[in-house]
Amino acid sequence: MNVADRPVLGGIRAVSFVVPELAAATTPYVMHLGYQVVAESRLTEERSAAMGAPALAGCAVRTLGPASGEAVFLHFIEVAGAVPPPALTTHGWNATEFVVQDVDGLAARLADDPAFTIIGPPASLTRFPMIRAMQVLGPCGECLYFTQVGPGSGLALAEARSFVGRVFIVVAGGADLAAMFAAYAGFGNATDPPVATPVRVISAANGLPPETLHPHGLIKLAEGTMIELDGYPPGTRARRPVVGTLPPGMAMVSVAADRDEIRRGGAGELLELVRETA
């Protein structure tokens, strides 16, 4: 199939998390990130089966959205006893990145909040000093990146339309980066091939020196959003699949597409394609 004939993935629409308790997982997002509860529901048998997780039928779901009102959501699925793995140490989806208006102001807001742990304080990116980012562990140990994009980057990235804006990058990590990129080769999206740079939070999570190089590349999506694929070091592990359910923690990412389908990537990450009509 020619590149021009390949289907193209659209923008990020949602990130789904499996958490042990909804209030503890979501209240800090509302109180400190300005996110809003937009829906309360339970997974139907039809929806849970479509997700490949029939055992989750009946589970409570709380959906949050940014204060901007953009239709990019966080779905939290309550599964009693769910134990998310330590961040950045297992294969699959590992980080959710939000575009923000003031990353230093957000860091000050979160500094004394027990629900959030800053693991990488705000810093300018080496290649793009007009971009400042920080890394945080959320209420259930989920890894969150917060990024402020200043003028002059030359990058077509989503803008922050509220203090903490939409999800604009999702990050998967795995042992075989070539296989991870190969899983997306059937789509016509542009890519940035892997480069190796120090990623201090990955090194810290895996007991490596901070200057350790980690390869990573990008799948470019619509609306200034992206999928980042990271090559993980030896010692990281695959998540043990549980038949009929979703993995605890960051479980699935939904993107706009020309069909409804759930695919599994090269690191085991679940990608939901959501059909959108004009």
pLDDT band at residue 220 using 50, 70 and 90 as cut-offs:
very high
Q: Say if residue 84's pLDDT is above 70.
A: yes
pLDDT band at residue 88 using 50, 70 and 90 as cut-offs:
very high
Q: Are 247 and 228 in contact (CB under 8 A)?
A: no
Question: Which tokens belong to 164?
Answer: 């903490």
Q: Distance between the two ends of the chain, CA-based, in angstroms?
A: 25
pLDDT band at residue 150 using 50, 70 and 90 as cut-offs:
confident
Backbone angles phi, psi at 104, to 5 degrees: -70, -40
Q: Across all residues in the chain, what is the average pLDDT?
A: 94
Q: Are 100 and 146 in contact (CB under 8 A)?
A: yes
pLDDT given at position 128 = 82
pLDDT given at position 4 = 64
pLDDT per position as a tens digit, 235-253: 999 998 788 999 999 999 9
Q: Which residues contact 200 (CB under 8 A, 6 or more apart)?
A: 120, 210
% pLDDT > 90, the chain? 90
pLDDT per position as a tens digit, 157-213: 999 999 999 999 999 999 999 999 999 999 999 999 999 999 999 999 999 999 999
